[in-house]
Amino acid sequence: MKTLFLTNEYPPTIYGGAGVHVDYLSRELAKLMDVEVRCFAGKREERLDLPTLKATGFPASSADYSAPQHLQGIFSALQRCLDWNSTGIDADVIHLHTWYTHLGGIIAKLNYGLPLVLTVHSLEPLRPWKREQIKGGYDFSCWVESTAISMADAVVAVSRDTKSDIMRYFDVPERKVHVIHNGIDLNEFKKSNPGDVRARYGIDPDKPFVLFVGRITRQKGIIHLANAIQYMNRTFQVVLCAGAPDTPEIAQEMRRAVDAAQGIHGNVLWVEKMVPKEDLIRLYSEAEVFCCPSVYEPFGIINLEAMACATPVVASAVGGIKEVVVHEETGFLVPLSLKPGTFEPTDSESFERDFAHRVNQLMENPNLRSRMAKLGRHRVESSFSWSAIASRTLALYEEVVANHRFEGLSKGPSIH
């Protein structure tokens, strides 16, 4: 059996959890079957250690586009969807990751007659702030996502909470929606020697620190964390590894919030770029606490990464995070209520104070941190290995392909 992954992100270009998922799942599946990945631009080669895994990047130039700037990324994604299909497909099943690829899957299902699997890493109806970024393009991303989900032979939800969201927002039979969690490479993400990572990022070696890692986007709640810093004790540093802002507006908002926090707290360090994986593991290992203040998070793979490095987590109690972080065992979950139909907290100040309180509580109690660190690593080891996730994915492929073949036989030959 062979699967074809269609994805925006793939090494060396990864900027979010979906890209991490595709990277590790494709490698793990390649130990069990043939895997082909078609992705956005960038030089790709067959992995020498996995001859069953091939990845090809498809560039798309917007140089001749006269469409508005905010729509050019959408149209270049659609160009790739066409190119993926005009390059012959010999897979048994197509597996889609993020809405950028969904038109490609729709075309493949209709033209090649192949079964379609779609993993939901996030849902467009739950990201309304994207209209700030792509304006009317948001209506398109919602439409293509809805269409692909309705056409898919199987939909993979990365958490039970995500499955509930799919059932609430889309007209899809529940039997088609399968929960398969994200995972973690336990050999790679583990407590590591920090080396000179503090010096390279300007972190004071004599002070403990709490850590945030993520993109500057509404979804990640980074502005709420920046606002919460004013309520945190001054005895530790707050390190924000935050880059790739969605819009100039949120970049400016972030700058104002960090400047205000620095003026009050005095120990805030903003690393304005995405950190390489090797350094990220070292930072997780050095941090006393990891912070995840997301307002929307289908799974929250970044919490797994921190827990695998034996770092306790303070996170908002939303989405799939509740299936990763165990409250008062591997960290603290901070309740977050949202205004109806929005992702704005009903009381931002209360959430920010509560978040800071939990961070302070952990920073003041090294024995509690140590206990949670051990339990976090154990939980990751026992429940979130990529090998188990790949086996479940292969079993789903086999079921989908068998059903697709049976349905084809039962319909009989076409009569014109």
**Segment (H or E) for 18:** helix 17-29
Domain range enclosing 204: 197-383
Angstrom distances, CA of residue 283 to CA of 100, 189, 290: 31, 11, 10
Residue with tokens 């392909």: 401
What's the CA gap between 163 and 154, in Å, rounded?
12
* 296 inside domain: yes
Shared-domain flag, residues 83 and 126: yes
CB 45 within 8 A of CB 18: no
| Residue type present at position 133 | Q
The whole-angstrom separation of Cα 305 and Cα 209 is: 17
Return d(Cα 128, Cα 301) in angstroms, integer: 22
CA–CA separation, 25 vs 384, rounded Å? 12
For residues 312 and 397, state if they share a domain: no
If asked whether residues 83 and 205 sit together in one domain, one would say no
What are the tens digits of pLDDT across the range 221-275?
A: 999 999 999 999 999 999 999 998 888 999 999 999 999 999 999 999 999 988 9
How buried is 412 (Cβ within 10 angstroms: 0-12 exposed, 13-18 middle, 19+ buried)? Answer: exposed
Interatomic CA distance for residues 359 and 339, integer angstroms: 25
b or e along 218-246 (b: 16 or more beta carbons within 10 Å of the residue's beta carbon)?
A: bbbbbbbbbbbbebbeeebbbbbbbbebb
Over residues 131-151, the pLDDT tens digits come to 888 999 999 999 999 999 999
Same domain for 328 and 343? yes
Q: Is the residue at 338 inside a domain?
A: yes
Dihedral of alpha carbons 355, 383, 19, 86, sign: negative
Q: Is the dihedral of CA 322, 383, 309, 393 positive or negative?
A: negative
- State both tokens at 99: 């809405």
Residue 102 sits in the same domain as residue 228: no
Q: Under DSSP, is residue 276 helix (H, G, I), strand (E, B) or coil?
A: coil
* Alpha carbons 37 and 45: distance in angstroms, whole number: 10
138 contacts: CB under 8 Å, gap ≥ 6? 124, 128, 130, 131
Residue 416 belongs to a domain:
no
Looking at residue 270, its pLDDT comes to 97
* Domain at 73, CATH number: 3.40.50.2000
Question: What does residue 295 show for φ and ψ, rounded to 5 degrees?
Answer: -95, -15
* 133, part of any domain: yes
Does residue 343 lie within any of the structural domains?
yes
Query: What is the separation of C-alpha 306 from the centre of its chain, rounded to a whole number of angstroms?
Result: 14
Using DSSP bridges, classify how beta strands 313-316 and 289-292 pair: parallel, antiparallel or unpaired: parallel
Shared domain for 7 and 154, answered yes or no, is yes
Cα distances (Å, whole numbers) of residue 196 to 62, 201, 248, 282: 41, 9, 33, 9
Q: How far apart are the first and last CA of the chain?
A: 32
Is 216 a domain residue?
yes
* Whether residues 176 and 227 fall in one domain: no
Q: Are 5 and 97 in contact (CB under 8 A)?
A: yes
Return the pLDDT at 44. Answer: 63
| pLDDT reported for residue 356 | 98
Task: Identify whether residues 371 and 344 lie together within a single domain.
Answer: yes
Same structural domain for residues 234 and 142? no
Whether residue 130 is found in the same domain as residue 151: yes
CB atoms within 10 A of CB 359: 26
Side chain identity at 287, as an amino acid letter? A
| 257 lies in the same domain as 341 | yes
Same domain membership, residue 130 and residue 20:
yes
**Residues 182, 46: Cα–Cα separation, whole Å:** 24
How many domains, the chain?
2
pLDDT value, residue 50: 86
**Judging by beta carbons within 10 Å of its beta carbon (0-12, 13-18, 19+), is residue 48 exposed, middle or buried?**
exposed
Dihedral of CA 374/376/379/385: which sign? negative
> What pLDDT shows up at residue 39?
96
Asked if the structure places residue 244 within a domain, the reply is: yes
Residue 225 is predicted with a pLDDT of: 97
Low pLDDT (below 70) residues in the chain? 42-48, 408-416
- Is 191 among the domain residues? no
Phi, psi (deg, nearest 5) at residue 262:
-65, -40
